[in-house]
């Protein structure tokens, strides 16, 4: 047996197996397979799971049970949601699953349990989340309020993607009134400044449509944000015109469902009144995994946990990166708590960047920063890490893509991080003894690098140029001091 975890999600449209590995706090998808059984279609028509859909579902579950057994995975959670919950023969379907002797223990989630579990997936991805989570599945729409790790008043509404075409057939005005009445009954509305977190494949399809239309430099919908006005404009655009025939990463079936999702979101925006929308790729399945963690692991910072696991796979441990981040802190302006975390993540990646062939470093840095999925990293943070890694590689000029997603001030800050990391690693070789006997600080309008005793020999012309580059970025004069005593007393 191994430490991988598996979730089997018996949904209204698909039955999916996802196997997770990597760090427990920020699990990585190792395997993802789905079967489009459409269990919810029969429920929408006559209140029962259809025979063909049930047969497809049982075959998928038998395959999944075999796969997890062959892969040696003991930690398997199997859950059923809206279609099985709403079907009159739903309990009988789960009894048939158990009778097959597959070793699966399917658990039927109530509407509130489904809503809260999905919200905990969002909370795991966005620890400071505040607002409303709306998870659009095949059979239902789950709505719940989230405030950090606290969720309350979760409800499930019969507004799933499989139901929307029939509901919209009655006309836009009637559809809007019906949805508005349901959503208003939940009594949830965003407080000033709160966000609407959108979960589910149909919502992510809207995000990809918006990103494609804007020629957005990022291609991962997770963490993509729109203000409320831009979201309303997006929905109007989808409902008025024909979507493109092809969008990278978006299946034709998802393209076809865009008008339904846009019509639903239009009413949600009017009722919930969020300040902005945030799209989340973490939802029900990640919520199940997150809830299974101990409190100490749940409390870990997701960005640092995921970056640490990644850089360790490249041969870079957290300890030396922490030493470097602490060493350069004296030269940088006092920054927000979030920036200190971001700078440590950038430092770990900058040291890992040095393990890449020199001619590939800048390109690899941009791929890591802009395209790899980092949980807990927003768009601004991606741009800053990219600018930091480029400066660490000796490339100071930010790309046009970075200028679109972060302000010039933020990019200059991040460039200073990268130049400081470059100076530190080239001066000290990231040797703890060298770092302990040297310091970098701002004093009297000068950027002062001090080294004690024999460690002064580490200062050479290339290091002087690195010091000058950082000083110029900070608007300071460079200064080097060789001191006889410990660096701390020489300051």
Distances (CA, A) of 438 to 13, 319, 320, 332, 369: 61, 18, 15, 16, 30
3-state secondary structure of 157: strand
For residue 251, the model assigns a pLDDT of 84
Query: For 413-431, how does the pLDDT look when each residue is reduced to its tens digit (9 = 90+)?
Result: 999 999 999 999 999 999 9
Interatomic CA distance for residues 367 and 344, integer angstroms: 19
The CATH topology of domain 2-108 is: Nucleotidyltransferase; domain 5 (3.30.420)
> Buried b vs exposed e over 149-179: b needs ≥16 C-beta within 10 Å?
eebeebbbbebbbbbbeebbeeeeeebbeeb
Write the DSSP assignment of 215-230 as a string of letters. Answer: T-S----TT-EEEHHH
User: Would you say residue 221 has pLDDT above 70?
Assistant: yes
Nearest C-alpha neighbor of 79 from the set 54, 57, 108, 49: 108
Interatomic CA distance for residues 301 and 341, integer angstroms: 9
Does residue 126 contact residue 88 with C-beta atoms inside 8 Å? no
User: Would you say residue 237 has pLDDT above 60?
Assistant: yes
For residue 301, the model assigns a pLDDT of 96
Query: For 57-72, how does the pLDDT look when each residue is reduced to its tens digit (9 = 90+)?
Result: 999 999 999 999 999 9
For residue 243, the model assigns a pLDDT of 63
Listed ranges 63-67, 96-100, 213-217, 338-342; the one with the highest mean pLDDT: 63-67
CA count, 13 A, side-chain hemisphere, 3: 7
User: Would you say residue 343 has pLDDT above 80?
Assistant: yes
Nearest C-alpha neighbor of 160 from the set 283, 238, 44, 53: 44
Interatomic CA distance for residues 446 and 475, integer angstroms: 9
3-state secondary structure of 169: coil
Interatomic CA distance for residues 486 and 450, integer angstroms: 10
Interatomic CA distance for residues 189 and 198, integer angstroms: 15
Query: For 374-383, how does the pLDDT look when each residue is reduced to its tens digit (9 = 90+)?
Result: 999 999 999 9
For the segment 146-170, the average pLDDT, to the nearest whole number, is: 92
Quickly state the pLDDT bin for 490 (edges 50, 70, 90).
very low
User: Would you say residue 361 has pLDDT above 80?
Assistant: yes
Q: Which DSSP state fits 109?
A: P
Interatomic CA distance for residues 18 and 397, integer angstroms: 41
User: Would you say residue 370 has pLDDT above 80?
Assistant: yes
User: Would you say residue 337 has pLDDT above 70?
Assistant: no
Helix H or strand E segment including 91: helix 90-99
Quickly state the pLDDT bin for 241 (edges 50, 70, 90).
confident
Tell me the angle at which helices 408-428 and 379-392 cross, rounded to the nearest 10 degrees. 40
For residue 249, the model assigns a pLDDT of 79
Does residue 121 contact residue 27 with C-beta atoms inside 8 Å? no
**Segment among 141-155, 197-211, 285-299, 330-344 with least mean pLDDT:** 330-344
User: Which CATH code of 3.40.710.10, 3.40.1170.60, 3.30.420.150, 1.10.10.60 fits the domain covering 112-286?
Assistant: 3.30.420.150
Domain parsing of the chain, residue ranges:
2-108, 112-286, 302-490
For residue 422, the model assigns a pLDDT of 97
Does residue 108 contact residue 94 with C-beta atoms inside 8 Å? yes
Quickly state the pLDDT bin for 335 (edges 50, 70, 90).
low
Same fold, 112-286 and 302-490: no
For the segment 456-480, the average pLDDT, to the nearest whole number, is: 97
For residue 489, the model assigns a pLDDT of 38
Does residue 393 contact residue 353 with C-beta atoms inside 8 Å? yes
Q: Sign of the C-alpha dihedral, residues 193, 198, 203, 209?
A: positive
Q: Phi and psi dihedrals of 47, rounded to 5?
A: 85, 10
For the segment 45-56, the average pLDDT, to the nearest whole number, is: 93
Superfamily of domain 302-490: Hypothetical protein af1432 (1.10.3210.10)
Query: For 399-413, how does the pLDDT look when each residue is reduced to its tens digit (9 = 90+)?
Result: 888 999 999 999 999
For residue 242, the model assigns a pLDDT of 67
3-state secondary structure of 196: strand
88 Cα distance to chain centroid: 37
Q: Which DSSP state fits 445?
A: T
Q: Which DSSP state fits 191?
A: P
For the segment 471-483, the average pLDDT, to the nearest whole number, is: 96
Distances (CA, A) of 61 to 14, 38, 54, 98: 11, 14, 10, 11
* Strands 150-157, 141-147: pairing kind: antiparallel
Does residue 6 contact residue 18 with C-beta atoms inside 8 Å? yes
Q: Which DSSP state fits 293?
A: S
Beta bridge partners of 136: 141
């Amino acid at each position: 047996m191994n430490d991988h975890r598996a979730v089997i999600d018996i949904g209204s449209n698909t039955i999916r197996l996802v196997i997770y590995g990597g760090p427990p706090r920020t699990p990585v998808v190792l395997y993802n397979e789905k079967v489009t059984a459409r269990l919810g279609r029969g429920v929408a028509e006559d209140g029962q799971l259809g025979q063909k859909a049930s047969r497809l579902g049982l075959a998928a579950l038998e395959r999944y049970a075999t796969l997890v057994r062959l892969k040696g995975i003991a930690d398997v959670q199997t859950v059923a949601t809206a279609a099985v919950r709403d079907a009159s023969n739903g309990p009988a379907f789960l009894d048939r699953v158990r009778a097959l002797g597959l070793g699966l223990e399917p658990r039927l989630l109530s509407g509130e349990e489904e809503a809260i579990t999905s919200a905990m997936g969002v909370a795991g991805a966005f620890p400071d989340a505040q607002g409303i989570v709306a998870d659009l599945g095949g059979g239902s729409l789950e709505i719940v309020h989230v405030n950090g790790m606290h969720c309350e008043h979760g409800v499930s509404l019969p507004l799933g993607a499989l139901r929307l075409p029939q509901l919209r057939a009655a006309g836009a005005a009637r559809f809007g009134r019906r949805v508005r009445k349901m959503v208003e009954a939940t009594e949830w509305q965003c407080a000033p400044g709160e966000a609407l977190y959108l979960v589910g494949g149909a919502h992510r399809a809207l995000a990809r449509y918006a990103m494609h239309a804007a020629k957005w430099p990022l291609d991962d919908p997770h963490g993509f944000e729109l203000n409320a006005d831009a979201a309303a404009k997006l929905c109007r655009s989808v409902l008025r015109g024909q979507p493109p025939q092809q969008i990278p990463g978006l299946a034709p079936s998802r393209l076809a469902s865009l008008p339904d999702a846009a019509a639903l979101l239009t009413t949600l925006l009017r009722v919930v009144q969020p300040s902005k929308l945030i799209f989340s790729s973490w939802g029900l399945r990640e919520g199940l995994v997150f809830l299974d963690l101990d409190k100490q692991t749940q409390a870990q910072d997701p960005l640092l946990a995921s970056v640490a696991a990644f850089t360790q796979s490249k041969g870079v441990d957290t300890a030396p990166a922490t030493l470097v981040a602490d060493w350069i802190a004296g030269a940088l302006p006092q920054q927000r708590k979030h920036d200190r975390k971001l700078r440590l993540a950038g430092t770990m990646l900058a040291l890992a960047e040095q393990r890449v062939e020199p001619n590939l470093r800048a390109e690899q840095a941009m791929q890591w920063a802009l395209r790899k999925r980092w949980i807990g990293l927003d768009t601004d943070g991606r741009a800053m890490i990219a600018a930091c890694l480029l400066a660490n590689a000796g490339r100071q000029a930010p790309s046009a893509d970075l200028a679109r997603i972060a302000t010039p001030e933020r990019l200059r800050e991040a460039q200073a991080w990268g130049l400081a990391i470059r100076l530190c690693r080239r001066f000290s070789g990231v040797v703890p003894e060298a770092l302990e006997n040297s310091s970098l600080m701002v004093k009297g309008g000068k950027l002062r690098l001090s080294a004690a005793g024999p460690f002064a020999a580490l200062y050479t012309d290339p290091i002087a140029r690195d010091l000058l580059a950082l000083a110029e970025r900070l608007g300071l004069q460079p200064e080097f001091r060789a001191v006889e005593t410990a660096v701390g007393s020489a300051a």
